[in-house]
Structure 1
Amino acid sequence: MSQQDTEQQATISRVTTGMRVVDSTGADVGTVDLVQRGDPNAVTVQGTPNADPGSSLDELIESTAVEEPEVPADLAARLLHSGYLKVSTDLVPTGAVYVLADRIAAVADGELRLTVPAADLPSEE
């Protein structure tokens, strides 16, 4: 793991759900809904191919559950590799955006500041 990756993981480990998120312009983005540390071995989003929902309700719910992150596969691989946050927001119709770990500028006083404007954040599909 590189020095940059180590620093990103240390930063993301200080983020908690419910934390306020502010973009690089100082605009309020929303609140952290999910924190996912990076996995340097992650290369793809693993689904359950040929899932058979079976007969129980639990199996049916599990087979239809959407795995995070809900973005195109190439972006999902980057998010899983570097680590990411899912932020609940009113800025996009889907109600959530994703933040790559390397887009976190600072975490202090219960607030997370980004290095980019909110418009540059990929939204949930």
Structure 2
Amino acid sequence: MDQQDAQQATISRITTGMPVIDVAGTEIGTVDLVQRGDPNAVTVQSPTADPGSSLDELIEATAVEEPDVPADLAARLLHTGYLKVSTESAGIGAVYVPADRIAAVADGRVSLTVDVADLPPEE
């Protein structure tokens, strides 16, 4: 099993509502969304229509899409898989956990390899 397969096996054992523990052992929040990786994911598409009035529609359409992070990071998250974690820390509503930052899933909890401060916040 390669690393990508191992990450997908790990992420498939995670369910919404599970507590998430960062590398320091601090509970940072709970899982809101579990997204398995898609090696064929394409997130950035150039507009096909005239970018006049349709640009506002394009922005509006992408405003609610997950993950709500810059396009290059969104592409990586969709490719590898990620968790969206609701958190109270530092006044951030939610953070995204790339699949490769998940250390383990055990005892109904998700353990991470990084500190909450190293995770990208929801925009």
TM-score range, shorter chain: 0.7 to 0.9
The residue correspondences of 1:54-73 to structure 2 (distance < 5 A) are: 63=61, 66-73=64-71
The aligned amino acid for 1:122 is: P
Identity percentage of aligned residues:
71
Q: Who is 1:93 aligned against?
A: 91
**Large movers: runs of 4+ above 3 Å:** 45-49, 62-65
CA distance in 2, matches of 1:106, 1:96: 20
Q: CA deviation at 1:7?
A: 0.3
**SS class of match (2:66):** coil
Q: Quick one: which of 75, 80, 86 aligns to 1:77?
A: 75
Equivalent position amino acid for 2:5 in 1: T
Q: CA deviation at 1:22?
A: 0.2
Where does the alignment leave 5 or more consecutive residues of structure 1 unmatched?
54-61
- How far apart are 1:109 and its partner, in Å? 1.1
One-letter amino acid of the counterpart of residue 29, structure 1: I
Q: What is the TM-score normalised by the length of structure 2?
A: 0.84
CA RMSD of aligned residues (A): 2.3
Q: 1:46 to 1:36 in 2, by over 3 A?
A: farther
Give the alignment's TM-score, normalised by structure 1: 0.83
* Residues 1:27 and 2:65 aligned together: no
Q: How many pairs does the alignment contain? A: 116
Displacement, 1:44? 2.0
Report if aligned partners of 1:92, 1:123 keep a CA contact under 8 Å in 2. Answer: no
Query: What secondary structure is seen at the aligned counterpart in 2 of 1:97?
Result: strand
- Aligned to 2:105, the other structure's residue is in SS state strand
